[in-house]
Every structure is written in structure tokens, then in C-alpha cells.
Amino acid sequence: MKKRKFGLAMSFVLAAGTILGACGTSDDKDNASDGKGKDDNFTVAMVTDVGGVDDKSFNQSAWEGLQAYGKENDLEKGKKGFDYLQSQSDADYATNLNNLARQDFDLIYGIGFMMKGAIEDIASQQKDSHFALVDEVVDQPNVASIMFKEQEASFLAGVAAGLATKTNKIGFIGGVESPVIERFHSGFIAGVKASNPDAEIVADYAGAFDKAELGQTIASKMYSSKVDVIFHAAGGTGNGLFKEARDLKAKDPSRELWAIGVDSDQVDEGKVGDHNIVLTSALKRVDNAVKDVATQAKDGDFPGGKEILFGLKEDGVGLAEVNEELSNKDEVVKAVDEWKEKIKSGDVEVPSSIKDAESFKAN
């Protein structure tokens, strides 16, 4: 009889322990999703697209934003601070996102529209994790969608290109055909029209964001056909544009040709002896957006299920400094500033489709 009583007592103890343990696990998960626990750090991580974290463009800008967030919050790279996983192919997206969720990061970024499907799948499986997707919209309560008005930045780049060209022949190199790149392309067309309606725009798409050799081939073809200014919206593929422009400038330092960068200020890619072939860069401040959303989430205001749109007014896009070597730099800067104010005030709406760009008329 005593043995039976002892056995019943132990059963109650074990049952109580199980209930308390389950409650503790739930609290831990809640704390993790609220940014508490893990030494009270709100941890963030990102998955790159195939361009890689050092693409000198889109992914690199996002990583710089995470680093800035980490520095501001005294965090170190790693599981207790901020980190990234690099994707070698699109097959890695879901695996990398899932790995970061299992490592219990408080906020996980998918960098690039090509990650939409993977974010949708993993976010629906990992409902206690928070995600943010750049350049596409996912309608789930644990996903924030970060979008940009790329057309506004590329419009300003088009204004600069239209005034800088001497041949009246301007090029555009796109990566993968998509709504994002179409916005870049459309804004550029409209900007060129606004400053130089007589200029011709030649466009070609590489079909990839990580093929620098293909970008160089396209650039070579354009420069050899009297194009003297080329804008790229092609990620790592655009690095080939800079190489071709540098090579041509090195062969003939007196030749006037320009390349326009994208996403980040790519001026460092243009150095050729005492010259620099980068005219300017259409800035897409992925770094600012990534840091801003991480800060909102850390402060308990994660914009899950919402679309956050960054344009000129929000300092989400812009134009880098114009090259000092440009003979009419002052004219270009003045025109860019004037159009920037018109866009910010709402007097000018920059087209986001090729169809609308082709019919765009500047006021």
C-alpha cells in the first residue's frame, strides 16, 4: 500500500513538472519572438540571393544595413547578434531561411524578389518566426514586405545621362526581367526624355544577376555602337559593365564614356589611373530600409502583414554624387535637384512601367 501511494505521488510530481516545463517552453518562444531572452539581444539575419553578400550592389547594401543595426545595438556577428547565409543557387533559399529560423533569430530577411516563394513556404511553417522580404509582397502576418520606388532613383540617373551624353546614344543593361527591373528601366527612360528628348536608348537584358562576363559582353557591344553612357540594374552582372568601361578608358584615356551604378554608390568600381568612369549611381537604400525595419521590430512594432514603401521622400532612393570630371557637372546637378523636388512634392509622378515611360512627357 505504501508503494502504491509513493507511485501516485511521483506521478503527480512528474505531471506537474511536465505542465510547468511546457509553460516554460511557451514563454521562451514568446520572449524570443518579442526580442527578449538570448542576453536580451534582438537578433537579425539575412539570406542573400545568388549575387552574394559582396556583390558591390544589392546584397552588399542590405548587409551593410544589418551591420549598422548591429553597431548601433552593440551586437557582434553570430547567433547572438547579426549574421547572414549566402545562397549559391535558388535551391538554397528555403534551406537557408529555415536554418536561420531554427537558430531562433528574431527577424530574418530574404533579400530579393526571387525569394518570394521560399519566404511564403517557410513563414507558413515557422509561424513563431518573423521575416521581412525585400522587393516583393507576401501576405502573411509574420512577414513584412519592403518595397522601393526604384523608378524615382533611375529617373534622376536618366536626367544625368541625358545631359552627359555627347553621342545622344544611351544604354541600359537589365538583369532578370521582373517588375523591379522594369521600374528601374522605366524611370531611366523617363529621366532621359526629361533632360534630352533627342537621345536614343538601347536596352538589353542579361537574364541573370551573377554573370559579370555577360554584362561585359553586352557593354562592349553597346560602347562599340556609339553608346557613351550605360546604366545597369543587373546586380553582379553589372560588374562586367565597369570592367569594360575601365578597359576602354585605359586604352584611350581621352575617350569620353560613362557607366552608371545601381543600388549602392559604385564609384569605387570606376577607377582608371587618374580617371573614374562612373558618372553617378542610382541609389536604392536597402541598408536604410533593413536597419529601419529591424529597429521597428526590436521596439515591438514589427510591421507584419504590411507593405512598407520607400521612395525619395522617405530617403529610400536617391542619386549619388555626380563625377567631378564631367564638363557640365553644374548643369547636371542643378537639373537633378530641380527634378528631385518636383518628384518629392508630387508635381511629377515617375512611370513604373515601360508602356507609361514611352508616353511620358516632361512638364
The pLDDT value given to residue 39: 56
The pLDDT value given to residue 51: 82
Per-residue pLDDT of the chain (363 residues; tens, 9 = 90+): 433 333 434 343 334 443 334 343 334 434 333 444 345 799 999 999 988 898 878 899 999 999 999 999 999 999 999 999 999 999 999 999 999 999 999 999 999 999 999 999 999 999 999 999 999 999 999 999 999 999 999 999 999 999 999 999 999 999 999 999 999 999 999 999 999 999 999 999 999 999 999 999 999 999 999 999 999 999 999 999 999 999 999 999 999 999 999 999 999 999 999 999 999 999 999 999 999 999 999 999 999 999 999 999 999 999 999 999 999 999 999 999 999 999 999 999 999 999 999 999 887
In the sheet where 258-263 sits, what is the strand order?
200-205, 169-174, 229-233, 258-263, 278-284, 317-319
The pLDDT value given to residue 17: 40
Domains of the chain: 39-148+287-310 (3.40.50.2300), 150-284+327-358 (3.40.50.2300)
| Residue 239 CA: distances (Å) to CA of 20, 209, 211, 212, 303 | 57, 10, 9, 5, 34
* CB 29, CB 22: distance < 8 Å: no
- Tell me the C-alpha distance between 81 and 67, whole Å: 10
The pLDDT value given to residue 36: 41
- Tell me the C-alpha distance between 321 and 264, whole Å: 12
Nearest of 192, 230, 202 to residue 336 by alpha carbon = 192
Name the grid cell of 79. Answer: 547567433
Beta-bridge partner residues of 104: none
- Tell me the C-alpha distance between 326 and 279, whole Å: 8
Torsion of CA 33, 131, 73, 99, to 10 degrees: 80
Q: What is the pTM of this model?
A: 0.84
- Tell me the C-alpha distance between 349 and 151, whole Å: 10
